[in-house]
Homo-oligomer: A and B are copies of this chain.
Amino acid sequence: MAAWSLSLSPTVVRIMAEFDLQAYLTQHTELVDAALQTWLPAGDLLPGRLHEAMRYSVFAGGKRLRPVLMMAAAEAVGGRPEQVQHAACAMEMLHTYSLIHDDLPAMDNDDYRRGRLTSHKVYGEAMAILAGDALLTEAFRLLADPRANATVPPATTARVIELVARYAGSRGMVGGQVVDMESEGKTIDQPTLEYIHTHKTGALILASIQVGGLLAGGDDDDLQALTRYGEAVGLAFQIADDILDVVGDQAALGKQVGADQARGKATYPALIGLDAARQRADELCLLALDSLSRFGIESDPLRQIARYIVKRTS
């Protein structure tokens, strides 16, 4: 894909040069995958096919962006990734359930995701619906799990659950999905597109970042800063996704390029043009970096991820 450039201060560039993002992503993704192996019900637990279907979609090559962002947010406020491992798994379960249901024939009707058959193609439509329901439910069970929360104040546990449910539900991710669906094939304005993006994708990203800060003991000012970062990064991620749908490499993406357009879905490039979309993504990235000014070197992972999100090619 065509690259585009960011205006970064010399300090930021220097910090970035000293930090190996790829190693960080690999290490933290492995942490999440190990925790998911532990926390997801075993495939041989009854009913076997249901638990198999849940695992099939969770271990389908996802980038674990939300979990990694949560761990990076925990580190930014001085915490450790291990403190948020269970909540990171819960966010990945929520993300996975939303993908399974999005792919259903009644929704986007996708046969493939990341080059693999979708849940309903492998397990049938009914099982895919139920596997999604079960992952959604298990996410909340895990957020409340007493073993996982042994060192978390119960009031924080309750606050985290309320927050995650708010961002995942009808006023968050599900709401974004509904407006997205209702907008297909229609001409929509930029506020509506921004609503879709900030809700459908942005909400879980923002929730992940806030929960990371909360569980690692961040104070109100920390959380405000993380919220500004999360809002900017969540929207930037989706704009970058829109751009990739136009100029991305099909093999690297593992999905059809131009799919949004073919489906009559509104995107930033379609609405404001490719150059303006890139400029908006860059601006949001700078906004995200700027919002981290109160944190020290511990927030470098968050900085690097923001940059990665708008520069990624898949």
Contact = CB atoms under 8 A, between A and B. Distances in A.
Interface of A: 41, 45-47, 49-51, 54, 97, 101, 104, 106-107, 124-127, 129-130, 132-134, 136-138, 140-141, 143-146, 149, 153-155, 157-159, 161-162, 165-166, 168-171, 174-175, 177-179, 181-182, 195
Nearest to A169: B137
A161 B144 CA distance: 6
Contacts of A162: 141, 144-146
Nearest to A174: B134
A138 to B, nearest CB: 5
Given A104-B126, A106-B125, A130-B178, 15 more contacts: A41-B171, A46-B171, A46-B175, A47-B175, A47-B182, A50-B175, A51-B170, A106-B126, A134-B175, A136-B136, A136-B137, A141-B166, A144-B165, A157-B157, A158-B158
Nearest to A41: B170
A101 B129 contact: yes
Contacts of A159: 144, 146
A143 B157 CA distance: 12
A153 to B, nearest CB: 7
A135 to B, nearest CB: 8
Given A54-B170, A104-B129, A177-B130, A140 B161 contact: yes
Contacts of A144: 158-159, 161-162, 165
Contacts of A155: 154
A178 B146 contact: no
Contacts of A107: 126, 129
10 contacts: A41-B170, A50-B178, A51-B170, A106-B126, A107-B126, A107-B129, A136-B136, A138-B169, A141-B165, A157-B158
